[in-house]
Amino acid sequence: MNTYRVGFIGCGGIARAHAMGYRGANNANIEFVAGSDLNPDGEKAQRLASEYGITLYGSHQEMLENEKLDLISICTWPKAHSEATLAAAEYGARGIMCEKPMAVNLEEADQMIAACEASGSVLAIGHAHRFSPQAEMARSLIQKGEIGTVSLIWGHCSLDLMNNGTHVVDLVNYLNGDVEASWVMGQIDRQKNVSGRGNHPDMVVEDMALGRVGYKNGVVGLIELGERAHQAYQFHVVGSDGIIDVNATDGPALKVLSAYRQRGWYAPELQEVFSFQSELEELVEAVEGKKEHRSSARRGRAALEIIIGIFESSARRSVIEFPVDVQDFPLERMIAEGMLSQ
Ligand SMILES: NC(=O)c1ccc[n+]([C@@H]2O[C@H](COP(=O)([O-])OP(=O)(O)OC[C@H]3O[C@@H](n4cnc5c(N)ncnc54)[C@H](O)[C@@H]3O)[C@@H](O)[C@H]2O)c1
């Protein structure tokens, strides 16, 4: 087993989940080395430092100059994801796990991919739900034809597109075999002057969002987010011969109705996993050239492209064809132009 020296940019809540994931990794010797944070004296950074024995810095440039790091977790608020990834790539990190959303616009996402290709760094995005056993099993059953030909994948959750929504869109992509989208139509609503919800204090957010995504295999994705959406982080896959429910609120994490098996609803057996551990073990495997990361930068960008497409469709009141040729964050533009509440 190889030894990897680990550092963090952003030392808040999710950095701790990454640290637990690294600590559990079964395929690497992990040395916790350093972390940088806007507020290194804050309670969250201090807690991470005391639990994992890392040196804290107030600037990631200073940390990267002083420490030898192999793997870097980027756990800042969204607007810093891109700049921190570029710095980690330029410094020559072998593996970078950047939290979701990958970036706040497609231009930044493309810069991140280009920088990591140039430096030979593996870049993965923290869409950890891809590693949940129910999602993994659902995808495998779909691919085996358990519910026939899939026509619709409906995903819904609370909060906004860039926060919980990026997980919802990414998981619809995952359940659909990561087939590319070809068009999207969307609508958003913003009546309140809202920014700074939870762990995205640097972003403006919509109150509600709805997206209909057409995939190249004919499947339709239906994305519902926000106050009046069904609040559970949940997915319903409709096929010609059955239905799969992921994260059913009224039962097991995975429920399947399969005409093909001529049986009523059943709940496949699932193994417990800690998805943050799985995504970081896979980062090690990707760095060692054993496989592409399940949540690669390319796939993170695919989720972001759909989200940007939903916003842009709402701005233009029309279907948006792929590739989405929009370089800014349309929600900010719509607010600045007076289309939506300040
Ligand atoms: N994968 C998941 O399931 C999941 C869950 C929660 C949060 N997240 C994501 O993780 C990111 C952070 O969320 P969190 O819950 O840890 O938030 P948090 O507020 O607990 O921690 C963020 C930390 O980053 C620091 N920070 C912010 N901008 C910085 C910058 N430019 N340079 C250095 N430090 C900076 C803050 O001071 C803070 O300590 C968000 O993008 C969020 O969407 C992902």
Pocket test for ligand 1, best of 108, 127, 199, 276 (most atoms within 8 A of CB): 199
How many angstroms separate the CA atoms of 136 and 245, rounded? Answer: 13
Residue 341 within a domain:
no
Percent of the chain predicted with pLDDT > 70 = 100
* Rounded CA Rg of the chain: 20
Identify the domain containing residue 85 by its residue range.
Answer: 3-129+276-295
pLDDT of residue 81: 98
Q: Same structural domain for residues 21 and 114?
A: yes
Q: Same structural domain for residues 139 and 179?
A: yes
Q: Same structural domain for residues 116 and 18?
A: yes
Q: Same structural domain for residues 181 and 162?
A: yes
Q: What is the mean pLDDT of residues 54-58?
A: 98
Say yes or no: CB of residue 14 within 6 Å of ligand 1: yes
Average pLDDT of every residue of the chain: 96
How many angstroms separate the CA atoms of 323 and 308, rounded? Answer: 11
Ligand 1 atom closest to Cα of residue 199:
17
Assign residue 314 the CATH number of its domain.
Answer: 3.30.360.10
Q: Same structural domain for residues 76 and 208?
A: no
Residue 194 within a domain:
yes
Q: Same structural domain for residues 233 and 220?
A: yes
C-alpha of residue 76 to centroid of ligand 1, in Å: 4
Say yes or no: CB of residue 38 within 6 Å of ligand 1: yes
Residue 342 within a domain:
no
pLDDT tens by residue, 271-290: 999 999 999 999 999 999 99
pLDDT of residue 251: 84
Q: Same structural domain for residues 176 and 63?
A: no
Residue 8 within a domain:
yes
Q: Same structural domain for residues 253 and 124?
A: no
Question: What is the number of structural domains in the chain?
Answer: 2
How many angstroms separate the CA atoms of 228 and 226, rounded? Answer: 6
pLDDT of residue 196: 64
Q: Same structural domain for residues 191 and 321?
A: yes
pLDDT of residue 139: 98
Predicted TM-score of the model (pTM): 0.97
Maximum CA extent, the chain: 63
pLDDT tens by residue, 226-239: 989 999 999 999 99
Residue 94 within a domain:
yes
pLDDT tens by residue, 230-270: 999 999 999 999 999 999 887 899 999 988 777 789 999 99
pLDDT of residue 250: 78
Residue 186 within a domain:
yes
pLDDT tens by residue, 168-224: 999 999 999 999 999 999 999 998 877 767 789 999 999 999 999 999 999 999 999
What DSSP designation does 99 have? Answer: P
Q: Same structural domain for residues 142 and 243?
A: yes
